[in-house]
Structure 1
Amino acid sequence: MNRNQRNVWITIAFAMIMSFFILFPSTTQAASTQIMLDNQPVEGAGDVMITNQTTMVPIRVISEKLGYKVKWKQSDQLITISNTAATIKLTVGQSKADATSGDVVLEQAPFMKSNTTYVPLRFVGTQMGLKVKWDNTSKTVFLEKVSAGPDTNNGSIPDPNNTTIEGISYSDNRLMISSSGQVKPVDSVLTNPNRIVIDFPSTAFGKGFLQGTELKQGEIGTIPVTGSADVKQIRYSVFSSQPAQVRIVIDLNQSKTYKLYQQNDLTFVDLNTSATTKPVGSNGKKVVIIDPGHGDTDSGGIGATGVLEKNVVLNVGNKVAALLKKEPKIDLIMTRTDDTFIPLDSRVKIAEDANADVFLSIHGNAAPNKDASGTETFYADTKRSKLLSDIIQKHVLAATGFKDRNSKQANYLVIRKTTMPAALLEIGFLTNKTEEAIMVQDEFQNKVAEAIVAGLKEYLNIK
């Protein structure tokens, strides 16, 4: 064999070796890991695999459980996943997928093992509209379907004749109450102690807001308020069940004037009273919705040492709110300011009813792979939201110093169904012990909050 022939055979052998690694990348099996879909074990799903620090799951079983049809074209190594609303095409060994919303870049190319095709877990969640949660204690991947229909309140409305309260938050010295439909509140002022009372006739609490629990007549829920010179706390209760009536009370530190007004299905009690006080978004102000993810019984991701995502993102969200209150050209609305839960569709509805200019949902990441790390930001619609996502990613990445997981497209409900520019930020991985320890630090959260505000101001062209 001459030198040229030997070089040809070496080249062929090298190409064969490389193709083997593309089809069968370096993988490890995640010990004793199971997959749960809507709290039911996914039978026949096989094992979760960790590949190049990316969590991979078997796509066929999960897709078929969700009602998708899966087709395999051997000649092209092509997997087509489809239902009546969407089609996704993936090719073994290629890191780009063709989705209905456009091309999607995967963290890790799909591969086959034992006649099973594995794809990144995050891809499954983002493209199939699933909530993905990793429980580090039980080593379990929880996948939760999010209905695209009007009722995602974890239960039916108690009485079809009643409007339901779906969200209550207090930010920028303004109380916001979100309802499922039009309702005319009755407000009054009481003294000794000073308080503002708002009654909602023919109204009950949505089961999504109560997270499947029941608030009986005489029982009181509270929303703590900190750092306010005017307000001690917010209380809410079932004032009457027959007929249905909800009562919300603002406990004041001192007598205070206010203005009550409604915008679509939002009711505002504004304590920023002056001769020029006008509804949210007036005087050319930009309306910004800050949405701390999860809340109440929905803890979100669980960190390496048990830190709950819902608490971290609420802290960051409230720090963002404190900064935005100082911006005279911005009107801020928080979807939640305490440990309550707001159904996903209700978060969207708040933004739509407020005619928001920008929607930003704040999250912390979690994955079965404890080494997964980095900051990433998601958008759903390229024309509407990519620029916002890119700018938020740029600023927050500089603040975290974590790995750059980029600004990328996804199918999360809150950024898909909103009609204004919308992004979903994943600050870092709580399941990464190093990042978790950093993410709970007050100084770090302040830096992230400042970065978020800087990104929002850049996008909105506010100097």
Structure 2
Amino acid sequence: MNGEALNLPKNGQVQNVKGNVMIPIRVVMEELGFDVDWEKRTRTVTIKQSDTTIKLVVNQASATVNGKKLALGAAPILKEDTTLVPLRFVSEQMGLTVGWDNATKTVYLITPDHGSGNGNGIEGNTGNTGSDNGSPGNGSGIPVPEQQNLAGVKGIGFDANRLIIAVDKNVTPDVFHLTGPDRIVIDIPNARFDESFSSNHSLDAFQAGFMDINDYPDVTKIRYSQFSDNPSTIRIVMDLSGARNYSLLNANDGYVIIDLNVDQSYPSKGSGKPLVVIDAGHGGTDPGAISVTKKKEKDLNLSIVKKVEALLKKETQLDYVLTRSTDVYVTLQDRAKLANNLNADVFVSIHANSGSATASGVETYYTRQESVPFANVMHKYLVKSSGLSDRKVRAKSLHVTRETTMPAVLLEVGYLSNKSDEALLYTEKFQNSVAQGVVDGIKEYLGLK
């Protein structure tokens, strides 16, 4: 509700009854704040707020609102010792706007006074306290009109304690702290969600959504919304576990980066520790090669990269960034630009090959001559960790190894077109071994082993 998750009691879970979202009367009372009365003899629920009174009867397909009889999409039901009532009916009769995201099976509630005024809803945006009002949602429940020359927000990611926002035009974000609770708010004016955004991120009917963050102690959730339509503004809110400093990196190269590594235990490039960019090949609408049993290369690549990430998290001498951490499409240009923008020390792209049914083994590709020493070290560990045949280090003009400015390699970890290779590639043992080989190779090349 209004962008905040409701904390439901154990016996107060939301339920889907024949396509209707039902909630216990306890939730109506404790979380939505309405007055509730239960009459056991007639099994009648009376819900009151201000000048509105709703009466619902268990198993009866109609209700009365201020004495007027109205049909229900679903009748209230008695389940064990709890009465469930239809959420949409109750909420809308009380003046709330109700949205439904079928992809995530999520209900969004917006109260009448939420987001009122001029739409920006910001208080104290130059201080340490205030409101991020309107995230998610612009408060109106009305789709934001199309505007010309707006920047498109293509994606949002969070890796290595950094928020990375992909945009398709130059933008000037406004970033500020809020407290009570602690948050970092990023407003991107003259912007909208790109058409591709909803294919990789949850967006509800109010152009809002969120990402739960589980792997980093500093951030609990990232919320985003089409916050205002005058000017058209995308707002992104990082919910924090406590006060955190940050640095803003905006080189107008397609990425806006909010780095929380300023004074945290996570090492940053500014600390002098090497920065590694790990790239999971393909993703999103680009499946990559298809294996003999119809598996997609993009999934294998990401699975190995996530295992590399788990190992890099334990390395205190290295910093790292992933070009993608979920099943999203990132252009080759954006992968190279991210590494260049961060001034990374090395770049590693993970792929799997495809060819004839008899082709088998591993290969390491480079483009620029200065990448040869790195390629040789990485290939040595790839051969050892994979246990597959050595198909050598090879030169090839590939975008991510050509356009990056640091030593860069592309690893082909086996052949998806080979039954024996494929059977091995999708095992946890193989992927863990290759991931360890990737980390060991990076450390040796950087003189950390």
Same fold (TM over 0.5): yes
Q: Tell me if 1:388 matches 2:374.
A: yes
Q: Distance in 1 between matches of 2:193 and 2:370?
A: 33
SS in 2 for 1:345: helix
Q: Is 1:197 aligned to 2:185, yes or no?
A: yes
Aligned 8 A contact 1:208 1:341 in 2 = no
Q: Deviations over 1:386-445 (max 9, x none)?
A: 221221111011111112111101111111111211111111112222222222222221
Partner of residue 438 from structure 1, selected from 414, 424, 429? 424
Matched, 1:326 2:314: yes
Q: Shift in Å at residue 269 of structure 1?
A: 2.7
Structure 2 residue identity aligned to 1:311: D
How do residues 87-126 of structure 1 correspond to structure 2 at under 5 angstroms? none
- Single out whichever of 216-225 and 410-419 deviates more from structure 2: 216-225
> Using a 3 Å threshold, how does the CA distance of structure 1 residues 275 and 296 change in structure 2: closer, same or farther?
closer
Deviation at 1:191, TM superposition (A): 7.1
- CA distance, structure 2, for counterparts of residue 223 and residue 432 of structure 1: 37
- Aligned equivalents of 2:298, 2:191: Cα separation in 1: 28
**Partner Cα separation in structure 2 for residue 210 and residue 409 of structure 1:** 38
* Percent identity between the two aligned chains: 39
Residue in structure 2 matching 1:404, options 370, 387, 390: 390
Tell me the equivalent position of 2:302. Answer: 314
CA distance in structure 2 between the aligned counterparts of 1:348 and 1:209, rounded to whole angstroms: 21
Assess if the C-alpha contact under 8 Å between 1:260 and 1:267 holds in 2.
no
Q: Residue type of the partner of 1:202?
A: N
1:370 counterpart letter in structure 2: A
Is 1:423 the counterpart of 2:412 in the alignment?
no
After superposition, residues 320-399 of structure 1 pair within 5 angstroms as 320-367=308-355, 369-381=356-368, 383-399=369-385
Q: 1:378 to 1:240 in 2, by over 3 A?
A: farther
* Secondary structure class of the residue paired with 2:315: coil
**Residue in structure 2 matched with residue 183 of structure 1 by the alignment:** 171
Over 3 Å counting, the alpha-carbon distance change for 1:258 and 1:452 in structure 2 is same
The answer as to whether partners of 1:380 and 1:409 remain within 8 angstroms in 2 is yes
When you count helix as a share of all residues, which structure comes out higher? 1
- Do the aligned partners of 1:370 and 1:431 also contact (CA within 8 Å) in 2? yes
Instruction: Provide the alpha-carbon RMSD of the alignment.
Output: 3.2
How far apart, CA to CA, are the structure 1 residues paired with 2:180 and 2:357? 54
Amino acid paired to 2:281:
G
Contact 1:365 1:426 in 2 (8 A): yes
Q: Distance in 2 between matches of 1:404 and 1:221?
A: 46
**Structure 2: 5+ residue runs without aligned partners?**
1-145
Give unpaired runs (5+ residues) of structure 1. Answer: 1-157
Contact 1:290 1:333 in 2 (8 A): yes
Shift in Å, 1:274: 2.6
With normalisation by structure 2, the TM-score equals 0.59
Residue 247 (str. 1) matches residue 239 (str. 2): no
Residue 271 of structure 1 and its aligned partner are, at CA, apart by 3.5
How many Å separate the matches in 2 of 1:217 and 1:247? 16
Change (3 A) 1:384 1:195: same
Q: What secondary structure does 2:215 align onto?
A: coil
Q: Which has the higher contact order (CA 8 A, sep 6+)?
A: 1
CA contact (8 A) 1:217 1:239 kept: no
- AA aligned to 1:309 is E
Cα distance, 1:291 vs structure 2: 0.9
What corresponds to 2:291 in structure 1? 303
Residue 217 of structure 1, CA deviation: 7.3
Whole-angstrom CA distance in 2 between matches of 1:341 and 1:375: 25
Show the counterpart of 2:257.
268
- The 3 A distance-change label for structure 1 pair 234 and 425 is farther
Partners of 1:364 and 1:430 within 8 A in 2:
yes
Q: TM-score, normalised by structure 1?
A: 0.58
In the TM superposition, residue 350 of structure 1 has moved relative to its aligned partner by 0.7
Distance 1:212 1:320 in 2: 23
